[in-house]
């Protein structure tokens, strides 16, 4: 509704009044209306989230799984600790643990 009122030519104060009349206590705050008004004034046309860059979606790639699998098979006594595997492959300890347990279905066994 903010976008529609902006396109009609209303100013942010008029938009706030219209929203308060229509929605009462449930209407968006003055700050929210002003932020959206300024976004539209700056040329934004969509009310949907814009794509973000951010961190890679996953480190559980086939290459990383193969590297971890090969490291474990090279030293079956697993003298390599999880943090050493993480440093070697270049990913976090949490991801290494996830790949060992969930992807490769490996678990620690002790022979006593």
Whether pTM exceeds 0.85: no
Q: Check residues 26 and 108 and name the one with the higher pLDDT.
A: 26
Give the mean pLDDT of the chain: 87
**8-27 average pLDDT score:** 93
pLDDT band at 83 (very low <50, low <70, confident <90, very high): confident
Give the pLDDT band (50/70/90) at residue 53.
Answer: confident
Q: At which residue do the structure tokens 């529609």 appear?
A: 4
Question: Cβ contacts of residue 71 below 8 Å, gap of 6+?
Answer: 80, 85, 88, 89
Query: Could you tell me if 78 and 108 are in contact, meaning their C-beta atoms sit under 8 angstroms apart?
Result: yes
């Amino acid at each position: 509704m903010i976008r529609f009122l902006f396109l009609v030519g209303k100013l942010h104060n008029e938009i706030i009044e219209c929203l308060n009349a229509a929605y009462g206590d449930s209407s968006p705050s003055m700050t929210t209306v002003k932020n959206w008004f300024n976004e539209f004034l700056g040329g934004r046309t969509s009310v949907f989230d814009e794509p973000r860059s951010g961190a890679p979606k996953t480190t559980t790639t086939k290459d990383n799984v193969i590297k971890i699998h090969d490291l474990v098979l090279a030293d079956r006594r697993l003298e390599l600790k999880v943090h050493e595997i993480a440093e070697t492959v270049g990913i976090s300890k949490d991801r290494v643990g996830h790949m060992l347990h969930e992807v490769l279905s490996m678990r620690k066994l002790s022979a006593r």
